[in-house]
Every structure is written in C-alpha cells, then in structure tokens.
Amino acid sequence: MTDTTDARGSSTAWQPSTLELERRAFRKRQTGRSVLVSALSTIVLAGLLAWALIGSPGWAQVQQTFFDPTVALASLPRILEGLWLNIQVLVGASVGVVIVALLLATLRTLRGPVFFPLRALAAGYTDLFRGMPLIIVLYLIGYGVPGLDFFPRVPVAVLGTIALILTYSAYVSEVFRAGIEAVHPSQRLAARSLGLSHGQTMRRIVLPQAFRKVTPALMNDFVAMQKDVGLISVLGAVDAVRAAQIETAHYFNFTPYVVAGLLFVLLAWPMIRLTDWLSARMRAREQVGSIV
C-alpha cells in the first residue's frame, strides 16, 4: 500500500484540497445560520402561543379545571389501572387483526370461479367495515351479541376487542392486499416456474415481500388503533378513558382527562417515532445516490 502511494507522490494520506475546505466552511456557516433561524422562530412562536393562552381572560379558570397537579396525581393510579386494560385489549386486537386481515387479503387474491363466493364475501366484508363508524360497530357488538343469549356472560372488554378486530382487519386487509399486489409478477412467475404451488408461492415468496413493503403503513394503522382502544369505554369497560371519566366526576375537575390523554400519547409515541424512522430509512434506501 505505502509503496504505491510513495511511488505516485510524496503524500501518504489524502488531504482535502483548499477548494474542498472552503466548500466545507461555507456549508458549516450555512448550517449554523439555519439552526439559529429555526431556534429563534421556535422561541418566538412558542412565546406568542403562551402569551395568548396565559393572557386570555379565562386562563386562571381553565388552569384550575384542566391542569390541577393535585388532581392529576390523585387520579393517576386509577387511570393507570384502566390503561392496563387498554394495553391488554390492544395486544389481543393486534393479533386478531393480523390474522383476520391476512385471511381476508389472501381470499381476495384467490383466482378461479370456485372461489367467487369467498372473494365476494371478503370484498363485502371490507366494504362494510371500512364504511361503518367504529363506535356503531362497538354498540352493535357490545349490546347486540349479549342480546343473542348464545354465550354465557362475555366481558365487555372482549366484545370491544372483537369490534376493534372487525373494523381494523378491514383496513389492514386492504393494506396487505396493496402489498401483495406491489410484489412484482415476475417473482410469482419465478416461483411457479420452480414448481411451487399457488399456496407455497404466497407463503414463501409473495407474503414475506409484501409484509416488508407495507410495514410503515401497518404500523400507522397500529398507532391509530392504539388510541381507538379508548373507545371501548362506551361499552362500560373501565379502561383509562372510563376511569378518567369517573375521576372527573369525583373531583369535579377535567384534569384526569388530560392525564389519560397524555398517557395515550406516551403509549403511542415510541411506535410513532419507530414508524417515522423506518419510513425514512426505506425512503433513503430507495433513493441511494441522490441528494434530494
């Protein structure tokens, strides 16, 4: 190594030229300037907002009823207890949604006249549950299913989970279907040419690639569901929202709602950041070599 560099010239290591050094200095100045500008504008904007809020005539009243630290602290244990139910429902619903959505998406990609009824059924299902408001599905399942008197008492949290699965699997199945269709037909062709059956091709070739393509979209739906689990409170399940409602009535103060809301944000935050990071990374991978 050193022999060749010595043969070519006196320097053993590359040194940036004066031209490059000048460019770097310029870029550094530019970066410094933009950081300063954005910091200043953030401070100004935040200051204006705070001034408008605190300076408003009703601020003292609002602060007392929405941001009371003692009430917040007192209501926290109950709300956390409720949040634990939300988390359980979330986990159950996520697993259910993935299974049902995968099934639906696969049904919709089946070809051949034999599968027409299944295809039509899956299409009808996604149309119905994508159109119907979640809260109505919750009412129908939460109050309708117990009315059937088929099963012994089912906890409302379970009924809420079922309603969430029904609604979200319709959305997620469409995401899966988009992913399946985004896998290039030549992949299917190659797999079938090797003698793999339709099912093997789906399982081994198409679905793994489809999953990768739709991961950011799936995570986004997960974040949406994360906060919609709060809606099971309308069925009377004592989750974080319901607990906050009870505490609000107890203290005659809205602070517990703010606490519950912040807890939901905290719960969703890691997933939101992860989704953004993953999307950015995928975007960067697809645009290797370009500056924009």
Could you say whether residue 5 binds another protein (CB under 8 A)? Answer: no
- The half-sphere exposure of 193 on its side-chain side, counting CA atoms within 13 A, is 6
Q: Which of 59, 187, 278, 281 binds another protein (CB under 8 A)?
A: 187
Distance in Å from the first CA to the final CA of the chain:
36
Least separation in angstroms between CB 109 and another protein: 18
- Which residue, 56 or 187, has its beta carbon nearer to another protein? 187
Could you say whether residue 17 binds another protein (CB under 8 A)? Answer: no
DSSP structure string for the chain = -HHHHHHH-S-SS----HHHHHHHHHHHHHHHHHHHHHHHHHHHHHHHHHHHHHHSTTHHHHHHHH--HHHHHHHHHHHHHHHHHHHHHHHHHHHHHHHHHHHHHHHHH--SGGGHHHHHHHHHHHHHHHHS-HHHHHHIIIIIHHHHT-SSPPPHHHHHHHHHHHHHHHHHHHHHHHHHHHS-HHHHHHHHHTT--HHHIIIIIIHHHHHHHHHHHHHHHHHHHHHHGGGGGGGT---HHHHHHHHHHHHT-SHHHHHHHHHHHHHHHHHHHHHHHHHHHHHHHHTTT---
Least separation in angstroms between CB 283 and another protein: 17
- Which residue, 41 or 197, has its beta carbon nearer to another protein? 197
Question: Which amino acid is residue 207, in one-letter code?
Answer: L
- Which residue, 105 or 232, has its beta carbon nearer to another protein? 105
- Which residue, 192 or 227, has its beta carbon nearer to another protein? 192
Q: Find out whether 223 and 268 touch, Cβ atoms under 8 Å.
A: yes
Could you say whether residue 268 binds another protein (CB under 8 A)? Answer: no
How many CB atoms are located within 10 Å of the residue 122 CB?
A: 22
- Which residue, 16 or 208, has its beta carbon nearer to another protein? 208
Which stretch in 56-64, 102-110, 156-164, 188-196 sits in contact with another protein by CB under 8 A?
188-196
- Which residue, 30 or 187, has its beta carbon nearer to another protein? 187
Give the contact letters, 144-183, x = binds to another protein (CB under 8 A), - = no: ----------------------------------------
- Which residue, 119 or 192, has its beta carbon nearer to another protein? 192
Could you say whether residue 282 binds another protein (CB under 8 A)? Answer: no
- Which residue, 38 or 187, has its beta carbon nearer to another protein? 187
Least separation in angstroms between CB 285 and another protein: 10
Could you say whether residue 193 binds another protein (CB under 8 A)? Answer: yes
Question: Which amino acid is residue 289, in one-letter code?
Answer: G
Could you say whether residue 281 binds another protein (CB under 8 A)? Answer: no
Q: Which of 118, 134, 196, 271 binds another protein (CB under 8 A)?
A: 196
- Subset of 203-222 contacting another protein (CB under 8 A): 204-205, 208-209, 212
Query: What are the residues binding another protein (CB under 8 A)?
Result: 186-187, 189-197, 200, 204-205, 208-209, 212
